[in-house]
Structure formats: C-alpha cells, structure tokens
Amino acid sequence: MDLRMLSRELSLYLEHQVRVGFFGSGVGLSLILGFSVAYACYYLSSIAKKPQLVTGGESFSRFLQDHCPVVTETYYPTVWCWEGRGQTLLRPFITSKPPVQYRKKYVEQKEGIKMEGMSPAPSPAAGKYPSCSELIKTADGGQISLDWFDNDNSTCYMDASTRPTILLLPGLTGTSKESYILHMIHLSEELGYRCVVFNNRGVAGENLLTPRTYCCANTEDLETVIHHVHSLYSSAPFLAAGVSMGGMLLLNYLGKIGSKTPLMAAATFSVGWNTFACSESLEKPLNWLLFNYYLTTCLQSSVNKHRHMFVKQVDMDHVMKAKSIREFDKRFTSVMFGYQTIDDYYTDASPSPRLKSVGIPVLCLNSVDDVFSPSHAIPIETAKQNPNVALVLTSYGGHIGFLEGIWPRQSTYMDRVFKQFVQAMVEHGHELS
C-alpha cells in the first residue's frame, strides 16, 4: 500500500476519534470492558481462594467443617484492595465502630485506699473516674483495667451466672476502643454472650502504680485476669480471643499452662509466631516507613506518660530515641522484664515453640501476606503434631485486615471466623471432648 495513502487514512481516523470522542467511538468502552473481564478472571483465578486448613487431628478438622464452615469457604478479598499492606492500612479507616456500652464503674482513691462502686455518673467525692469498668489489683501492687460488656438484655442466656463469657485481648497498643474489638463484642451480643476486654497496663488511661508495663512473654497479668473472671462466673462457658500481640500473649499462656486452664477454647488472629522474623520483616524499608516507626512512637508515647515511674530502671532519654520496635524492646521492654539481651526476650516471646503444649482447642487465623507475621515463620509442622490446634491460612488479608465485599465497613472475614468458632465451641464443644 502507498505510504502516503496509509498516512492519509490514519490521519482521517484520528481526526474522526477527536471529533466523536474517545468513548463515543466505542473504543474506550471496549477497552474498559476488556480490562474488567481480564481483571475478573485474574481475581477469580489468583486472588479468591479457599483458606488452607491445617490441623493436628481429624476430629478437630471435622468439627470445624461441620460447625465453622467459613474456614473452608472461598475467601473473596475486597476487589479493589486485596494486597496485605493496603488492607492493613485501610481497615482502621474503613471499618465501622459499632456502639458498645461498657459497664460503668467509678473508683475512688484516697491515700492509697481503693473503693469501688457502681454509678451512672462520677461521684463528686471520687478521686478517680477512669474510662474502664473495673480495676483489679496484681501481686506486685499494680492494677489492671478491664472493660465489661454484660449483655444483660440477652434472651438466649438470661441467667448471668451461666451466660458464656468471652475474654478479648487487643493488640500491641490497642484498647477496648479498637474497631476489631467492638465488632467482636457486637457479634457476641447477637449470640447472647458476655465480653470482658483485658487492657494491658498503662494503655487505657489508668494510673501506673508500679514501674511495669507489659510484654507478650510475661503471662502473669493474663493469668490474674483469667482467674478473676472465672471466679466471678465459674458456671459459665469461658473462652478467649487474642488479636496480634494479644494472641501471642494468649498462646504463650496456653503453652505454659497446658490443659490446666478454665478456658474451654481460644481463637487468635494475625499472631506473630516468631518474634525475630516479625522484627526482620518490619525493618524492611517500606514496612518500617508504613508501620514500624509509627508503632514505635505509640509505644514511646505510652511509656512517656508514666516517665517518672521508669527513670530509676532505664535511660528514658535513650528509649525515646528508638527508631524501631526492636530498638524500643532492647532499651525498654527487655530491661523492664529482666532479660539479659534482646535475643533472650524475643526467644521467650515467640509462641511458636509452645504450640505443641496447648491443651485446649485453639483456632489461629493468619494471612500469608501479613508483613507483621511472615509466612515462612508460621509453624505449620508443629500445628500438625497437636490435635488441639487448627491453623487457618488465607492467601490475602494483611495484618488484622481480612476485608471483603465492595465496601467492607460492617464485617470482615475475621469477624465471621470469630463468630462461627465461638458459637460452635459454646454449642457443640462437647463433641470434641
């Protein structure tokens, strides 16, 4: 064909496109439809997948398939945000915060004497009115704040003494106000259950009475809380659920105590199985920029509010210059809890080695694209050796993300796993025993 003729035809075509418009010609619409179809095929073939279910016993696996089918159903991550970092960053801003009315309780403190009482409003004589529902004493003279959701309007369990109780453990700097905690309470309310949130020392606004905060290796405070809650409702089914560091703490407790716990079952979400691997992953440049530095400043802020309590034990100026969680733990956490080195602390904090000693049914949900918990550190082989343990591993979901649906505001895949599992254990747990 004559080159001049080809050029003329091309010029006329381009002139026509400009005149009728990109979409008016049908080319734009065709491109959009083609891209949409290609993306849908890619999403359905590579993104939406069934989770991997790893159990150490056939009975637990069959129990979950019968009573907790969500763990074997295809997980459809949010189509416009399925990557791990994106889900982790967006979840706190997208998901709603269901209204939860915790039990109110004022605490009067005079000359070291604590008096407690129920009150709908602060007492004029009260020296302290914390946001928490209850403060309990610890053996070292400290105090732990608990937030109670009693669910007295429950129609399924009208008798408070036998109403199932769920103990909730938030993440590293989390409290009872976190959206994922509020969603768990909302779902528990639908089931008729009671919830109590274990706030780590110093994070919920209460006074720090001793120079001690918290770490996921030391389970003394958790043991105190579990004993306290069980003593109040010893006839009620008692379960626990821990998120991120709360899950690490819960697994370390279960690994140490075995079957000698009043808990009948537990669930964990986005647990960091190996603290060394978690720290290494979070120190990669992009992860440090998006997550590590921010969490470090949150930790520094929480201890700086009680700075006067720690000046004799640690160099607080040095602590406040930490640029990563590892540096903070090396300069503060490991020192406060008596570890010789940061490696000693991280070895003791990792729940993976203790998984083989867990003595009650435990369901652990993790995403393999979670930068807080690298997939290579998930103890799959160890889980296969314990009939009480089930790992549910999704391909996507990030850290406490698990977003699903076009606009994932009301519920996540994690919420559905939580609801089905606790209901299954309360109503059918006897099948496992």
Q: Can 376 be counted among the known catalytic residues?
A: no
Residues 329-387: tens digit of each pLDDT: 999 999 999 999 999 999 999 999 999 999 999 999 999 999 999 999 999 999 999 99
Are 109 and 127 in contact by the 8 Å Cβ rule? The answer is yes
Residue of 281, 302, 399, 415 with catalytic role: 399
Does residue 194 carry a pLDDT above 50?
A: yes
Does residue 19 carry a pLDDT above 90?
A: no
Are 192 and 163 in contact by the 8 Å Cβ rule? The answer is yes
DSSP 350-394: --GGGGGG--S-EEEEEETT-TTS-GGGS-HHHHTT-TTEEEEEE
CA dihedral 384, 388, 394, 400 (to 10 degrees): -130
The pLDDT assigned to 6 comes to 52
Residue 133 token pair: 């529902």
Q: 28: pLDDT confidence band, cut at 50, 70 and 90?
A: low
The reported pTM is 0.88
Q: 205: pLDDT confidence band, cut at 50, 70 and 90?
A: confident
Residues 229-270: tens digit of each pLDDT: 999 999 999 999 999 999 999 999 999 999 999 999 999 999
Q: Can 370 be counted among the known catalytic residues?
A: yes
The overall average pLDDT reported for the chain is 89
Residue of 133, 145, 244, 281 with catalytic role: 244
Q: Can 399 be counted among the known catalytic residues?
A: yes
Residues 267-315: tens digit of each pLDDT: 999 999 999 999 999 999 999 999 999 999 999 999 999 999 999 999 9
Residues 68-111: tens digit of each pLDDT: 999 999 999 999 999 999 999 999 999 999 999 999 864 444 33
Residue of 221, 329, 370, 415 with catalytic role: 370
